[in-house]
Amino acid sequence: MDETTTFPAQQPAAVGASTPLAGLAGLAFSKGHGTGNDFVLIADAGDAHEVTPEQVALLCDRHVGIGGDGLIRAVPSRFLPEGRALLEQDPAAEWFMDYRNGDGSLSEMCGNGVRVFVQFLITEGLVDLAQGQTLTIGTRGGVKKVVRTTNGYAVDMGPWEFIFPREATSKAMDALVSADGLEVARPGLSVSMGNPHTVVALAELAELSATQLFKAPVVEPKPVNGTNVEFVVPAEPLVEAGVGTITMRVHERGVGETQSCGTGACAAAVAIRHWAGPTAPNDWHVKVPGGVVGVKFFPGAGGREHVELSGPAVIVASGTLS
């Protein structure tokens, strides 16, 4: 259901006091989500509203702001150094997904956010995209190709890679992960999907439910730029009709636990398929608290294997900061 809502651009404060959001008064925004992973979205065709990290954190606060796992600014790629570099690779990447985590920190990519970003561009009338057509967009994780499907969008997330390849191939693990609710540290496998992930397999759903993600799990060794952590339970049986199924919870850098993580779903499928061995399938269903996303592996350019992420995207509200 679409709603139009007006949110105050200031927190309660002393009369006459300015606040970090005061300069954003009158700015239009939307709120959207992909399988429960939610975002504040701003269209900035003229690059006039670069939101500061402090402003992002306030807008994404669920008590005094709009609330969201992150903020996405839609800006033409030509205005950003990263975007101009991508335009040299692919001139079709006209729009750039300028994404920040809920705490204001920059993030390379967000798989659910990409789908919501494209839905936002369509809703705002900034692009036309019919079912079956492809849109090219720029992200800090590189150029992404997004296809509009009957049930949402499918995104070529690009190639995956192990962050510590020697350990991943020789020992099938490269880290130990501790979290509240787990009695002992568990082995993890670190995967890059343009952003870092560490995947931990658990034996059963009860163990997954008991894992507490109020604070960040401890990962040793931790990737240089930090890591998102996925706790995953393989289905029993793992594969039916050629499709693998796993259930996942995730703690995201700079956010905390979220209802879904698109790049995390891809990383989880990479890890479980690696552990399952050469007979594991290329098609996966990943169950997250916010729904189900699809993950598919396919040959990409240059012989590297790519990952496709598919799922819904919904714009649920729009309004103006006052």
| Residues forming the active site | 110, 261
Residue with tokens 């061995």: 277
Rounded Cα–Cα distance for residues 314 and 135 (Å): 17
Residue tagged 């008590």 (tokens):
63
HSE, CB side, 13 Å, CA atoms: give it for residue 302: 4
CB 39 within 8 A of CB 295: no
Q: How far apart are the first and last CA of the chain?
A: 23
Nearest to 296 by CA among 259, 243, 247, 256: 243
How is residue 108 written in tokens?
A: 């390379």
Q: Which amino acid is at 197?
A: H
Estimate to the nearest angstrom the gap between the alpha carbon of 319 and the chain centroid: 23
Residue 142 and residue 194: Cα distance in Å, rounded? 8
For 14-40, give the DSSP string: -TT---TTGGGTT-EEEEEEETTEEEE
Alpha carbon distance 82, 143 (integer Å):
11
Which amino acid type is present at position 253?
R
Per-residue tokens: 302: 């240059």
